[in-house]
Amino acid sequence: MAERADDRLLRLLGIVAYLDGAGPVSVADLAGRFGTTPAQIQKDVDALWVSGTPGYWPDDLIDFDAASIDRGVVHLTEARGMTRPLRLGTREAVALVAALRAMKATDAVQADPARSAVVESALRKLTDATGEAASAVDVRLAPGGDKQVVAAISSALTNRHRLRIRYVTSSDVVSEREVDPVRLHTQDEFAYLAAWCYRAQAPRTFRVDRILEATETDVPVQAHPGQEPEIDFGALFAGGSSPLATIRFAPRARWFAEEVPVESVRNLPDGDFEVTLRVTNPGWLRSTLIRLAPLVRSVSPEILADDVAGAATAALALYGDGDGAGDGAGHGAGGVRDAATSADQH
C-alpha cells in the first residue's frame, strides 16, 4: 500500500528535529526509531537534502555530512531553522483556543479522562500564552442528549460496564437493548455511541439524542468476535487517523477510481474492480455509495456498510416505501439489504 503523503511529511519533519538534538545516528537506529526501513531512511535523507527555505540555493537547503552517509550514519549539519518552535499570531492562537474549548465541551472528550486531560493541558498552556485575547472567546455547544443519558454513558465507558438503553429510530420505532459501550464521539452536530449490541449481535452506532433512557449495569463489557481494538468501528466517526475502507464496484463505476483519491485499485477477473481508500469524510462517502448503490458489490468494514444501510433506510422511510429499501441500498452495500432492515444508525 502506498504511503500517505502526510505520514511521510511528519516523519521527515521528525527526522530533522530528532537529528538536530541527537547528533549523528546510524541509518539502522534511525529506521527503528521511526518505524520504517533503512532503505526508506535513505530516500528520506535524499528528499531532505534538496529541501530548504525559499531561494533554494545551496546555502538555503537542509544539509548532511556526505562522508557520514557513506558510512551508514546520518549527520545533520544544517537544519535551516526547521527545529525552531512554532510562533502563532494572535488570530491563530484565538482560533485554536476556540477549537479546544469546543472540543473540551463535547461528550466524547468529557467521557474519556485521558483525552480530557490532554485537551485541558493544551488549552491551559495556549490560554496562558494568548493572554487577554483568549478571554474574549466564548464557546457554547448545544447538548448532545439528555444529561442523565450522557452521564450514564460516560460512567459506563469509564467503568467498562454494560448499558441498558431505550432507543428510538428515525422511524419512531422504540426498542430496548443491552449494549457494551466502546466509544462516544461526535460527527457533524450530533453525538454518537459506538457499541456492541446484544440484540443485533453486531456493532451498532446509536445517536445519543435518540437514546431515551440509559442505565449502567454492573456487568463488565466483553470482547466480541470480529471486534478489532486497533480498528475500532467507532473510529469511522472519531476524526482521528482516517480508517481504511474497501469497496467493490461494477465496471461502469470505473470513474470513481479515476476521480477520487484512493490508496489502491485492484482489477478482478469478472470485470469488477476493488478500491481501498481513506475515510476522511464519512458523510460524503455515505451519500456517494447510496447514489451509486446499483454499482456497489460489497463494502467493508461492516460498520461502514451498516451506516450506509441505515442512512438509506431513513431516507426511503420519508417516502413511505420501506419495501423498496433493499433493492437500492441493500444491493449497493453487498449484504447491506439485511442490515438495512434493522439498522440503528441515524
Query: pTM above the 0.75 mark?
Result: no
Grouping H, G, I as helix, E, B as strand and the rest as coil, residue 189 is coil
251 within some domain: yes
CATH number at residue 164: 2.30.30
Q: Which domain covers residue 118, as residue numbers?
A: 90-135
216 pLDDT band, cuts 50/70/90, is: very high
107 is a domain residue:
yes
Residue 88 or residue 24, greater confidence: 24
Domain membership flag for residue 71: yes
Q: Say if residue 32 is in the same domain as residue 105.
A: no
pLDDT of residue 165: 93
Is the bond preceding 301 in cis, omega lying within 30 degrees of 0? yes
Smallest Cα–Cα separation from 143: which of 110, 200, 180, 105? Answer: 105
Q: What is the pLDDT of residue 115?
A: 73
**Whether 25 and 64 share a structural domain:** yes
Flag whether 167 is in a domain. Answer: yes
Is 84 contained in some domain?
no
Q: What is the pLDDT of residue 136?
A: 63
Q: What is the mean pLDDT of the chain?
A: 75
Residues 221 and 294 in one domain: no
Given a cut of 70, whether residue 152 has pLDDT beyond it is yes
As for how many domains the chain has, the answer is 4
170-185 pLDDT, tens digit each? 667 788 999 999 887 7
Instruction: Please check the confidence at residue 137 and state whether its pLDDT lies above 80.
Output: no
The CATH number of residue 41's host domain is 1.10.10.10
Contact 203, 195 (CB under 8 A): yes
Number of H helices, E strands in the chain: 15, 13
Alpha-carbon gap, residue 179 to 13, rounded angstroms = 43
pLDDT surpasses 90 at 291: no
Is it the case that residue 166 has pLDDT exceeding 80?
yes
Decide if pLDDT at 3 tops 80: no
Residue 238 lies in a domain: no
Listed residues 212, 233, 254: the one ending a domain = 233
Q: What are phi and psi of 96, to 5 degrees?
A: -70, -40
Q: Is the pLDDT of residue 230 over 60?
A: no
Pair (63, 95) in one structural domain: no
Q: How far apart are CA 76 and CA 322, in angstroms?
A: 65
> Using 50, 70 and 90 to split pLDDT, how confident is the model at 340?
very low
In this prediction, what percent of the chain has a pLDDT beyond 90?
A: 10
Taking a C-beta distance cutoff of 8 angstroms, is the pair 146, 166 a contact? Answer: no
On whether residue 83 sits in a domain, the answer given is no
123: in domain: yes
Are 222 and 256 in the same domain? no
DSSP 200: T
Tell whether 256 and 167 lie within a shared domain: no
pLDDT, one tens digit per residue, over 248-280 is 999 888 878 766 667 788 889 888 999 988 776
Same domain, residue pair 61 and 95? no
Higher pLDDT, 240 or 166: 166
What 3-state DSSP class applies to 92? Answer: helix
